Chains A and B, each alone.
Chain A
Amino acid sequence: MTLPFDVNTLDLFSGLAGLIFTLMIFSYVIGDNFLFRIALYIFTGVSAGYIASVAWWQVLRPNLVAPLISGSALDKALLVFPLAGILMILMKVLPRLSGISRFAMAFIVGAGAAVTIAGALRGTLIPQVEGTLNSIPRMNTPADLAQNFNMLVNGVAILLGTALTLIYFHFGARTQQDGSVRRMGVIEILAWLGRFFIGVTLGVVFAGVYSAALTALIERISSMINLFGNIP
């Protein structure tokens, strides 16, 4: 398929469209407005259309329709189960028959939960515990201490941060003499330290969000500048 215009012209129109939509989104700085909504609806519609095309072209057609048409008998037989699952989920459209979709949804949720739990245990919980325990390097000699000091500090910070953060989320408390319910004093102190680590973590996350947003802003500004720079 040959486009009626060259790539540069296409880049120009696409750059202009990007500029217009970027400005429309930027208009949100003055509040919710028509331009922002127009840009938002356009992006939502385009995304939905694109997702639908992807689902058809990359999921349904190669995995369901093509095997049913040109696949072997075994392939067709194996497709009975996914096809039945599809029909069940489509029953959600009909309120009277929406209950049928529970079978397919139950299968999906159950299988997903099993995969998630297994992956979390083997890929996150156990390795993270081991990593935390191994964060402090072995130091047999003072030379090792000097060499691995940074790792030691980092490991202690990780260990303290993990422990204090968990202590912060410890809500066991006792009733005091004045009737108030408070945690133990030591727990309160450690929880305060844990709150510090949580604050630092959230600050870092916020910095990362700001950094990501700033990078996107810069890219948009750069793209606009490049667009105008490329305009002959």
Chain B
Amino acid sequence: MDQMIKCPACGEINSAELDYCQKCNTHLRQQDKAFKPGELPNKKNTAELEPILPQWLRDAREQSRQTSQDDSIESVRPARPQQPSQPAASNVDFLAGLQSHASDDTEDETPDWLASITGVSNKAKKAGPEAADVHRVEMGGRDDFARDAENESPSWLADIQSQPKTEKDELTDWFKEASNQADDNSKDWLGQSTAGNIFINEIDEPATSDQAPDWLRQMQADESAKNNPVKAEPSFTANDDGPDWLKGMQPENSSAGEGQSGLSNDDAPDWLTRMGGDQPTSAGAADVMPSFSSNDDLPSWLNSDASQEKSQPQKSNPFSESGVGGNDAPFSLTEDTPDWLKPTPSEQPKTPALRNTSPLKNTSPLWLRETTPGGEAEDANVPAWLSSDAPVINQPPAIDQLPTPAATQNDEAEFGDIPSWLKAAAPQSSIFSEPAVEPEPAFSSDTPDWLSAFKSVEGSQPASPFETETKNDSNLTAPAFTENAFDGGSDALFTEMPDWLSNASEEPLANSAPFAPVANNAETLSAGELPSWVQAMRPVESSSSARSTAASSSDQTLESRGALTGLTGVLPAVPGYTPSSKPKAYSILLQATEEQKSHAFLLEQILSAETEPQPIASFQPLAASRPLRWFIAVTVLAMLITVTALGTQLFTLPALSMAAPSALKGALDVAQTVPEGAPVLVVVDYQPSHAAELEAAAAPMLDQMDLLRHPKLIFISTNEMGSILTQRLLSLPSLKDRYRGEGQFTNLGYLPGGELGIRAFVQNPLQAKPLDVSQNPSQLQPISVVQFVAVIVLTDNANSGRVWIEQATAATSPLPFPAPIVLITSAQAGPMIHPYYVSGQVKGIVNGLYGAAIFEQNNAGRPGTARSYWDAYSLGMLLAMSMLALGGLWNLALGMRDRSTLKEAK
């Protein structure tokens, strides 16, 4: 079988090399793309399948396209008003193709199997416009269902007719499986079959409209002549026009008024033959129906016949109005009824009630509706070939007798037996929500064998889904296969769509309860057995989960390791990749040579040494430092006190010789050359701690100046202590006698502002310091500092002297400051001020006690402070130098000792 492929459409076994079926030209590879249960169907454009359609269907479709342009004309057709409320295409879209086909094309393109049945040859095609919905149905969309149905139905029926025994299509197989697995399904089928019969019975007038083929109309005419005169139209009964097996059925049906089905026809398929063979023993309808409904091999639409027959056992004409009136008339003409199910205009006068009936809420084809105990519907749009049983209906049901659809309340329950794939295929809102139609038994004594088999099986399984309904009816004793019934039944046999198509059985919930769940049936179906057209009919609105399920179903690898253990299809399998061998194991241990290890060890040592804390060598304090300090202090103090107390003059004053600093000479020159009585600015900018030194250095110069030139000294200070230091300076013994009176000197006091104050004072002394320390007018001139003949700066800080030098120089820049600047500085500031002397900015410098001592020697022999301090000063300097020398020598000795010790140690 690996080399063979079974055609999904006709069941033909084809070679695997073929892409299309040799018989039906169906694409054989569709199985590869077949949908599986739970899989999200792909929306197909079944127009692509058109090439595989039978020729008669393709012609019909082509014809429908051509006639689609005549929609406007079609709207004014006289027959259209007689088709009230043409059902929306959405309700019967999957049958629209059939409608169009039945209306006109089928007359020309009547399949052979039908031709062989009816014996009516094809007639010329009628040039009648089609309904608009038919055109829309064939243009695509949901109409694809109709196309598929058109494509599949003939083959199925053709198989039944032509090769009933040998050939087995997939549908037949499915039927058999379904019947073998669950009897409930057969009941369902019976119910549907009954519904189909009822539907046909409810048709007041046969569908012998223009849309019906001639052979059917001929059949109807014969039937009308043969049947009960109540019938308005001859039904499709056993007559000459019918096939032999049908003819055989009708006599039996008519003769077997007790309901026995004598239908036996060699042309019928086996399953039909078996049904017919099993039937004969049933004497009455009550006996027939159970056996009928229990037949597993029967399609539901045949079972529906049986149930319908059961529901009207006592009626001589099961399709009479009386028989179907009241609660037995579930059918009604509605707007939604397809045209082919509605009566033709010629038949309308015979069905006034139906014409006047308001459209019931039927949106599905009537033949798909399921019977309900109390209602029937009538539809005049039944195709002609299907409406041949219409004449058996004696009276149309009154509108008030038309049952209200009751089966819509239990749609789900009613379809419990329907396979899910058929549920999805059929638009439930239009099909399954319709009121059930009470079936009419249509079996007669002429029932072929396959119909007899129905009955025989029925007898063994009386649990028909419609049994409850039929038993409630008082006319249940009517034979199942009366002639009339068979007429209707035979019509139903051919007009009723099989269960797998219609799936319209809307049986009560109670009846469907004992049946197996739908899922069971669906599960029993293998995806590969679904015909292509069924696949296309599957609802598009399937959940995306189905798609994911389908995607994951392709790879069902079960993960046995890791976090995905237990999951299937998680990791996509890579084709062609299969571990050929066990992965090689690698050691995680470091493989290093001895040399590498030694290097690593050294590196580790280096790194560890870097991180280890290193002790910091601390200086050991000198043990003799404190005694040494005490020794030095005591030595200096003792010597100084001694020398000072003794008042010795052991050390001579430095003479003004060649060795004397030139800066001192400049200061002396300034002191000796200042104009007489000229104002001399004396800046007192030193701290009290240096008062002794500066007083000792300034006193000789001031004494000499006063002695020689009697200048007017104007004291000012940028230090807060300057004013009191000025008072202290002038209180020196050498000066206190000369600078006592007012007018001999001016103490301006403190000059605030630091460098800014100096700058302001240099530019305008009077504005900067209008008052002296006694709050008297300063008597300064409103001119620059050049008004002073000399500027003498007494400072212990090089910066203080520098500021005065800079601001005085800057005040007259670029010209040099005209007045000589003499700095009397402390010994610690002299070296820092000396560059200003070198640069010529400072005229002279008196540096400390040394400068004072030199200056005193040139002061005409007047005693001064420098001399009194000089011995102590000299001794102290000598002592300091001595200690420095001794300290240096001591340090040298220690160094030599350490070196010798180090050498000895080495």
Interface status of B808 (Cβ within 8 A of chain A): yes
Counting CB contacts under 8 A, is A148 at the interface?
no
**Residues B840-892 near A (CB distance < 8 A):** 840-841, 847-850, 868-869, 872-873, 876-877, 880
- Flag if B806 contacts A128 (CB, 8 Å): no
Evaluate contact between A222 and B810: CB separation under 8 angstroms: no
Q: Are A58 and B749 in contact (CB under 8 A)?
A: yes
CB pair B849–A215 under 8 Å, yes or no, is yes
How many Å from the CB of B344 to the closest CB on chain A? 108
Residues of A within 8 A of B813 (CB): 122-123
A220, B688: Cα distance in complex, Å: 12
Q: Which residues of B contact A131 (CB under 8 A)?
A: 835, 838-841
Given contacts A54-B750, A115-B759, contact A218 B724 (CB under 8 A): no
A62 touches B775 (CB 8 A): yes
Q: Which of B759, B771, B873 contacts A215 (CB 8 A)?
A: B873
Give the contacting residue for B872; candidates A118, A132, A158, A221; CB below 8 A.
Answer: A221
Pair A58/B828 contact, Cβ less than 8 Å: no
- In the bound complex, do residue A55 and residue B720 qualify as a contact, i.e. CB atoms below 8 Å apart? yes
Q: Which of B692, B749, B759, B814 contacts A216 (CB 8 A)?
A: B692
Residues in B with CB closer than 8 Å to A120 are 806
Chain A: residues with Cβ within 8 Å of the partner, total of: 49
Q: Given A211-B849, A221-B640, do A127 and B839 touch, yes or no (CB 8 Å)? A: yes
Enumerate chain A residues within 8 angstroms of B877, measured Cβ to Cβ.
210-211, 214
A208 lies within 8 A of chain B by Cβ: yes
Residues of B within 8 A of A130 (CB): 839
> Which A-chain residue is minimally distant from B831 (CB atoms)?
A204
Asked if A208 and B807 make an inter-chain contact with CB atoms under 8 angstroms apart, the answer reads no
CB of A205 within 8 A of CB of B775, answer no
Return chain B residues, CB-CB under 8 Å to A115.
755-756, 759, 807
Q: Which A residue's beta carbon lies closest to that of B692?
A: A219
The answer to whether A211 touches B848 (Cβ under 8 A) is: yes
* A108: chain B residues within 8 A (beta carbon): 756
- With A58-B723, A119-B810: A127-B841 Cβ-Cβ less than 8 Å: yes
Q: When the two chains form the complex, which single residue of B690, B755, B830, B836 contacts A112, counting CB atoms closer than 8 Å?
A: B755
Q: Which residues of the other chain, A, contact B696 by a CB distance below 8 angstroms?
A: 215, 219
Q: Is there an interface contact between B827 and A207, defined as CB atoms closer than 8 Å? A: yes
A220 touching B692 by the CB < 8 A rule?
yes
- Is there an interface contact between A112 and B692, defined as CB atoms closer than 8 Å? no
Partner of B724, one of A50, A208, A214, A215: A50
B326 smallest CB distance to A (angstroms): 105
List of B residues within 8 angstroms of A222 by Cβ = 644, 868-869, 872
**A119's contact among B645, B771, B803, B836, by CB below 8 Å, is which?**
B803
B848 to chain A: closest residue by CB:
A211
Q: When chains A and B are docked, how far (Å) is the Cα of A204 from the Cα of B835?
A: 14
For the complex, what is the distance from the CA of A90 to the CA of B754, rounded to whole Å?
A: 19
Interface pair A211/B759, CB less than 8 Å apart: no
- B644 to A221, Cβ gap below 8 A? yes
Restricting to A92-134, which residues have a CB under 8 Å from any CB of B? 108, 111-112, 115-116, 118-120, 122-124, 127-128, 130-132, 134
Q: Does A217 belong to the interface (CB within 8 Å)?
A: yes
Q: How many A-B residue pairs have CB under 8 A?
A: 164
Q: Tell which of B803, B828, B869 has the most Cβ of chain A within 10 Å.
A: B828
B839 and A216 within 8 A (CB): no
For A212, list chain B residues within 8 Å (CB): 690, 693, 796, 826-828, 848
Question: Is there contact, CB below 8 Å, between B771 and A62?
Answer: yes
Q: Which residues of B contact A118 (CB under 8 A)?
A: 810
Scan residues 28-73 of chain A and give those whose CB is less than 8 A from a CB of chain B: 29, 47, 50-51, 54-55, 57-59, 61-62
Q: Which residues of A have CB within 8 Å of B876?
A: 214, 217-218
- Measured in the bound complex, the distance between the Cα atoms of B827 and A205 in whole Å is 8
Chain B, Cβ-Cβ closest to A51: B720
Please pick, from B773, B810, B847, B880, the residue contacting A123 in the complex, using a CB distance under 8 A: B810
Q: Does B721 contact A (CB under 8 A)?
A: yes
Contact present for B640 and A215 (CB under 8 Å): no
Determine if A50 and B828 form an interchain contact, defined as CB atoms under 8 angstroms apart: no
Q: Which residues of A are found within 8 Å of B724, using beta-carbon distances? A: 50
> In the complex, A55 Cα to B752 Cα: how many Å?
9
A177 to B840, CA, bound (A): 49
Asked, given contacts A62-B771, A131-B835, whether A215 binds B869 with beta carbons under 8 Å apart, the answer is yes
Chain B residues near A55: list those with CB within 8 A: 720, 750, 752
Chain A's closest residue to B849 (CB) is: A215
Q: Please classify how large the interface on chain B is, using the bins under 10, 10 to 19, 20 to 34, 35 or more.
A: 35 or more
Interface string of B808-844 (1 = CB under 8 A from A): 1110011000000000001111111001101111000
- Closest B residue by C-beta to A108: B756
CB-based contact B692/A158 at 8 Å: no
**B29 proximal to A (CB < 8 A):** no
Asked if residues A216 and B835 are in contact (CB atoms below 8 Å), the reply is: no
Does A153 count as interface, using CB distance less than 8 angstroms?
A: no
B869 touches A158 (CB 8 A): no
Task: List, in ascending order, chain B residues with CB within 8 A of A132's CB.
Answer: 838-839
* Distance A108 CA – B832 CA, assembled complex (angstroms): 28
User: How many Å lie between the Cα of A207 and that of B828 in the bound state?
Assistant: 7
Given the contacts A158-B838, A217-B640, A122 and B806 also touching, CB distance less than 8 Å: yes
> Which A residues are in CB contact (< 8 Å) with B868?
222
Q: Which B residues between 283 and 308 are near A, CB-CB below 8 angstroms?
A: none
Question: B755 contacts A119, CB within 8 Å?
Answer: yes
Complex interface residues of chain B between 9 and 34 (CB less than 8 A to chain A): none
**How far is A124 from B644 in the complex, measured between Cα atoms in Å?**
41
Q: What CA separation (Å) do A214 and B872 show in the bound complex?
A: 9
Q: How far is the CA of A210 from the CA of B813 in the complex (A)?
A: 37
Instruction: Pick the residue among B750, B807, B873 that contacts A214 (CB under 8 A).
Output: B873
Residue A201 lies at the interface, judged by CB distance under 8 Å to chain B = yes
Would you call A17 an interface residue if the criterion is a C-beta within 8 Å of the partner chain's C-beta atoms? no
User: Are A128 and B835 closer than 8 Å at their CB atoms?
Assistant: yes
Chain A residues whose CB sits within 8 angstroms of the CB of B810 once the complex forms:
118-119, 122-123
- Given known A-B contacts A115-B759, A215-B693, A222-B644, A127 and B827 have beta carbons under 8 A apart: no
Interchain CA distance A47-B839 in the complex, whole Å: 37
> Would you call B4 an interface residue if the criterion is a C-beta within 8 Å of the partner chain's C-beta atoms?
no
Contacts of B723 in A (CB 8 A): 54, 58
Q: Are B640 and A218 neighbours in the complex by a CB distance under 8 Å?
A: yes
**A216–B693 touching, CB < 8 Å:** yes
Q: Chain B residues near A58: list those with CB within 8 A.
A: 723, 749-750, 752, 773
Q: Which residues 733-778 of B sit at the A interface, judged by CB distance below 8 A?
A: 749-750, 752, 754-756, 759, 770-771, 773, 775
Bound Cα distance from A95 to B690, whole angstroms: 39
List, in ascending order, chain B residues with CB within 8 A of A62's CB.
770-771, 775
Cβ of A225 within 8 Å of any chain B Cβ, yes or no, is yes
Closest Cβ of chain B to A222, distance in Å, is 5
State the CA gap A10–B129 with chains docked (Å).
150
Please pick, from B690, B720, B803, the residue contacting A54 in the complex, using a CB distance under 8 A.
B720
- A99 CB to closest chain B CB, in angstroms? 23
A54 touches B749 (CB 8 A): yes
Task: Considering the complex, give the chain A residue whose CB is closest to the CB of B629.
Answer: A29
B830 near A208 with CB under 8 A, answer yes
**A218 with B720: CB separation less than 8 A:** no
- Asked if B802 is at the interface (CB within 8 A of a chain A CB), the reply is yes
A205→B637 CA distance, assembly (Å) = 23
Collect the chain A residues with CB atoms within 8 Å of residue B720's CB: 50-51, 54-55
CB distance from A22 to the nearest CB of B (A): 12
Q: Is the CB of A124 within 8 A of B806?
A: yes
With contacts A58-B723, A218-B692, A225-B644 taken as known, whether A123 is within 8 angstroms of B808 at the C-beta atoms is yes
A-B contact pairs, 24 of them (CB 8 A): A54-B750, A57-B773, A58-B723, A59-B750, A61-B775, A112-B754, A119-B755, A123-B802, A123-B807, A123-B808, A124-B805, A131-B841, A134-B839, A135-B838, A208-B831, A208-B847, A214-B640, A215-B692, A215-B693, A215-B869, A218-B876, A220-B692, A222-B868, A225-B644
Task: Tell me the B residues contacting A by CB distance below 8 Å.
Answer: 629-630, 633, 636-637, 640-641, 644-645, 689-690, 692-693, 696, 720-721, 723-724, 749-750, 752, 754-756, 759, 770-771, 773, 775, 796, 802-803, 805-810, 813-814, 826-832, 835-836, 838-841, 847-850, 868-869, 872-873, 876-877, 880
Extra pairs beyond A119-B803, A123-B841, A208-B828 (4, CB < 8 Å):
A54-B723, A55-B720, A130-B839, A210-B877
